[in-house]
Amino acid sequence: MEKRVSKRIPANAVLSFPCCQSFRYGTATNISEKGIMIQTEPCFPMSSRLNVFISSGKEILKVPVRIARIVKKGNHYKGIAVEVVGLPKKYQE
């Protein structure tokens, strides 16, 4: 029995997000209808809300997210898992 509502799709997409009056970059390693796993060093506390910018090739998608989990392996941060919140319908395709 699968516990996930949405299937994860492997990805390798560069994205950006605002942090400390500049932009940080990361790589989306998988994407689902409900969230994105981003390989990056976190700079926000849990439950923070922010916008992630992803290029679709035709336009820049502005995706509102909430940090759901910070991934750490040993003493090193590996990434953040974000939950998509309030995604506009035109992006859901």
pLDDT in tens, 1-47: 456 667 888 888 899 988 878 888 999 999 888 899 999 987 788 88
Inter-residue contact 44 to 29 (CB < 8 Å): no
Q: Which two tokens stand for residue 8?
A: 């994860």
DSSP state string for 43-84: -S-TT-EEEEEEE-SSSEEEEEEEEEEEEEETTEEEEEEEEE
Global pTM reads 0.83
Q: Does the pLDDT of residue 68 top 70, yes or no?
A: yes
Cα 18 to chain center, whole Å? 12
Euclidean distance between CA atoms 19 and 83, whole angstroms: 18
Sign of the dihedral defined by the CA atoms of residues 39, 2, 47, 70, in that order: negative
